[in-house]
């Protein structure tokens, strides 16, 4: 495991470049910082400064090397590097009147989806004739803010979660940029905006959705502390697992039958899926950090009693993240076999989780951390 | 040009009502759940089948019902059953419940916490401790988020 701190501000979103040597991070403000990996840690190379309000989501297209950002200022920008390696923005015509909340490149990187508070999803693509990014809207039957989107591996279907507690699967086929798709298990007719499936409806806001590697199964986490899954190839069998923990915020398939989720619990949680589509909670990922035993002198005890009204300093959590985990991304590998995961949290930490090679054979999802590789680098933000 | 006016009544107009795309809460079909009769519960309690009485009530909780009288009645019955347990029996009773019942029981406990009577408050605290041990903070989160109250 590697742990990096990017200051004290909560991190809203992060995105990796193709070879994982650069990272784009937004620290809960209107800026997006690009960091380059160096021997000492991470070095800030450029700041993307175009949004006028808080940036809500960042995504980096690995092959075409384009960054897309969206924010509360109702705008999205596509950033492309010019000859001098400087990132230049171009505005996307989103046509929305509320904040944009989430953005994701499609797997083929020829379009991206922006969810927003104006109860619609903008599917954006490059219009060669006019030389800018335009969008088409998916409106019906969405009745509330879109909180999260995820693309199906076939580049056509899009899953979204919203604050009306529902998860929907839409067709995001744009005839201007791609060939007519054939049907699959989710549906046969795929015009843009066709709502193929709708799940959920009770519980809480949906915080995260994720397709598995085959695209036949869809999992999501919501604010009623549940994790849910639906299997399209098994007659849309739904399953739900109620957690004992605080709600999860983000999730990722890390193997054919395993999911890792993280959220307000501050831990990464591991789930397995069996043949009859049942989700089972496997446990927390990683070891618990031991509280460092400090010598208790009489003086420090009384100082501590005076300052905090307690003898022991119990303000630190035993988990790696010291605050809610906000976003999980795949660092290395594909959804069928992830070997490294990265997570960012409201504590300003970026954690890269290794797969423990010895335990990899069991379900292929046992992420563990090697204590000796912990490498903490502090980067003073915004000096 | 806007005229200065002393009337503020226009500020109280709920403009969202006139938005046809406005979010509407899903209309949940009320399941026809019959709250177990008081006599039935009484009979179970008299024959010392406290756990059966509790399970029966939690399985048939009128969570989708719109009838407040039904809900109140069910709530009264649940609290009555809870107070019948000895403190030492609470743990075993909680362990015999499935996860749905645990969540519903937590809802009843929190409803009682909202307006506790002198007798029920301490009983509910005992139950809360045991239910929390099984359901964790997750079940409290579900009390807070679920629209289907008891």
Q: Is B21 on the interface with A (CB under 8 A)?
A: yes
Residue of B nearest to A162 (CA): B23
Please list every residue in chain A whose beta carbon sits closer than 8 Å to the beta carbon of residue B146.
Answer: 202-203, 224
Residue B109 or residue B5, greater confidence: B109
Q: Is B142 on the interface with A (CB under 8 A)?
A: yes
Residue of A nearest to B133 (CA): A244
pLDDT for A366 equals 47
pLDDT for A81 equals 95
With an 8 Å Cβ cutoff, are B137 and A143 in contact? no
Q: How many domains does chain A have?
A: 1
pLDDT for A287 equals 60
Assigned domain for A333 exists? yes
Q: Which of B23, B24, B138 sits opposite A245 (nearest CB)?
A: B138
pLDDT > 70: percent of chain B: 89
* CATH T-level assignment (fold) for domain B36-145: 1.25.40
Cα gap A31→A58, rounded to integer Å: 11
Please list every residue in chain A whose beta carbon sits closer than 8 Å to the beta carbon of residue B133.
Answer: none
Q: Is A244 on the interface with B (CB under 8 A)?
A: yes
Residue of B nearest to A200 (CA): B26
Q: Which of B135, B145, B146 sits opposite A244 (nearest CB)?
A: B135
Chain A closest CA to B133's CA: distance in Å? 9
Residue B10 or residue B23, greater confidence: B10
pLDDT for A378 equals 33
Cα A77 from chain centre: 19
C-alpha triplet A98, A161, A250: angle, nearest 5°: 105
pLDDT for A380 equals 30
Residue B11 or residue A210, greater confidence: A210
pLDDT for B6 equals 80
**Rg (alpha carbons) of chain A, rounded to whole number:** 21
Q: The domain spanning residue A73 has which CATH number? A: 2.130.10.10
Domain spans, chain B: 36-145
Please list every residue in chain B whose beta carbon sits closer than 8 Å to the beta carbon of residue A278.
Answer: none
Chain B closest CA to A226's CA: distance in Å? 8
pLDDT along chain A (383 residues), means of 10: 86 96 95 93 94 97 97 97 94 96 97 96 95 94 94 96 95 94 92 94 91 96 96 94 95 93 93 93 72 67 80 74 94 91 93 65 41 32 31
CB pairs under 8 A between A and B: 50
pLDDT for A99 equals 97
Assigned domain for A383 exists? no
Binned at pLDDT 50, 70 and 90, residue B8 comes out as confident
Q: For A223-277, how does the pLDDT look when each residue is reduced to its tens digit (9 = 90+)? A: 999 999 999 999 999 999 999 999 999 999 999 999 999 999 999 999 999 999 9
pLDDT > 90: percent of chain B: 61
Assigned domain for A244 exists? yes
pLDDT for B125 equals 95
Assigned domain for A61 exists? yes
Assigned domain for A300 exists? yes
Q: For B79-96, how does the pLDDT look when each residue is reduced to its tens digit (9 = 90+)? A: 999 999 999 999 999 999
Cα gap A105→A137, rounded to integer Å: 16
Please list every residue in chain A whose beta carbon sits closer than 8 Å to the beta carbon of residue B141.
Answer: 204, 223-225, 246-247
Residue B44 CA neighbour count, 13 Å, CB half? 20
A11, A16, A61, A250, B117 from A328: Cα distances, Å: 12, 12, 16, 6, 46
Assigned domain for A131 exists? yes
With an 8 Å Cβ cutoff, are B24 and A143 in contact? yes
Q: Is B98 on the interface with A (CB under 8 A)?
A: no
> pTM here?
0.87
Q: Range of A351's domain?
A: 2-378
Q: Which of B23, B24, B146 sits opposite A224 (nearest CB)?
A: B146
For the stretch A193-196, contacts whose Cβ atoms lie closer than 8 Å and that sit 24 or more positions apart, written own/partner, are A193/A136, A193/A137, A193/A138, A193/A139, A193/A140, A194/A170, A195/A140, A195/A141, A195/A168, A195/A169, A195/A170, A196/A157, A196/A169, A196/A170, A196/A171
Chain A closest CA to B21's CA: distance in Å? 7
């Amino acid at each position: 495991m590697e742990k990096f701190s990017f200051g004290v501000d909560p991190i809203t979103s992060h995105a990796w470049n193709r070879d994982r040597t650069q990272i784009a991070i937004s620290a809960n403000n209107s800026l997006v910082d690009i960091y380059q990996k160096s021997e000492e840690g991470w070095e800030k190379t450029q700041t993307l400064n175009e949004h006028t309000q808080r940036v809500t989501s960042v995504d980096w297209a690995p092959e075409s090397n384009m960054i897309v950002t969206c924010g509360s200022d109702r705008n999205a920008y596509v950033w492309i590097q010019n000859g001098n390696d400087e990132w230049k923005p171009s505005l996307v015509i989103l046509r929305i009147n509320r904040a944009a909340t989430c953005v994701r490149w499609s797997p083929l990187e020829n379009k991206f989806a922006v969810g927003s508070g104006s109860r619609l999803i903008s599917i954006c693509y490059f219009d060669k004739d006019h030389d800018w990014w335009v969008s088409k809207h998916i409106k019906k039957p969405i009745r509330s803010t879109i909180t999260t989107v995820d693309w199906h591996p076939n580049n056509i279907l899009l899953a979204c979660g919203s604050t009306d507690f529902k998860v929907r699967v839409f067709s995001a086929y744009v005839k201007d940029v791609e060939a007519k798709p054939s049907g699959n298990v989710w549906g046969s007719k795929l015009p843009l905006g066709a709502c193929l499936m709708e799940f959920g409806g009770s519980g809480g806001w949906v915080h995260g959705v994720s397709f598995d590697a085959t695209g036949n199964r869809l999992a999501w986490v919501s604010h009623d502390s549940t994790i849910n899954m639906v299997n399209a190839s098994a007659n849309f069998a739904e399953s739900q697992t109620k957690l004992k923990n605080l709600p999860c915020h983000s999730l990722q398939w890390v193997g054919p039958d395993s999911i890792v989720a993280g959220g307000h619990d501050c831990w990464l949680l591991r789930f397995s899926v069996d043949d009859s589509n049942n989700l089972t909670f496997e446990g927390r990922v990683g070891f618990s950090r031991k509280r460092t035993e400090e010598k208790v002198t009489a003086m420090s005890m009384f100082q501590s009693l005076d300052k905090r009204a307690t003898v022991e300093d119990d303000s630190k959590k035993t988990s790696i993240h010291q605050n809610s985990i906000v976003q999980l991304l795949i660092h290395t590998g594909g959804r069928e076999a992830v070997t490294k995961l990265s997570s960012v949290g409201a504590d300003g930490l970026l954690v890269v989780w290794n797969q423990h090679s010895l335990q990899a054979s069991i379900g292929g999802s046992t992420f563990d951390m090697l204590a000796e590789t912990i490498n903490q680098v502090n980067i003073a933000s915004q000096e | 040009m806007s005229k200065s006016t002393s009337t503020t009544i226009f500020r109280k107009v709920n403009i969202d009502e006139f938005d046809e795309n406005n979010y509407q809460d899903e209309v949940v079909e009320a399941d026809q759940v019959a709250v177990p009769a008081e006599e039935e519960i009484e009979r179970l309690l008299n024959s010392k089948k406290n756990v059966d009485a509790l399970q029966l009530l939690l399985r048939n909780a009128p969570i989708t019902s719109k009838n407040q009288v039904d809900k109140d009645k069910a709530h009264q019955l649940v609290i009555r059953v809870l107070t019948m347990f000895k403190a030492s029996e609470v743990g075993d009773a909680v362990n015999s419940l499935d996860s749905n019942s645990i969540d519903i029981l937590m809802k009843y406990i929190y409803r009682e916490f909202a307006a506790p009577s002198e007798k029920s408050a301490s009983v509910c605290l005992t139950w809360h401790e045991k239910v929390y041990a099984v359901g964790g903070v997750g079940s409290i989160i579900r009390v807070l988020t679920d629209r289907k109250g008891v």
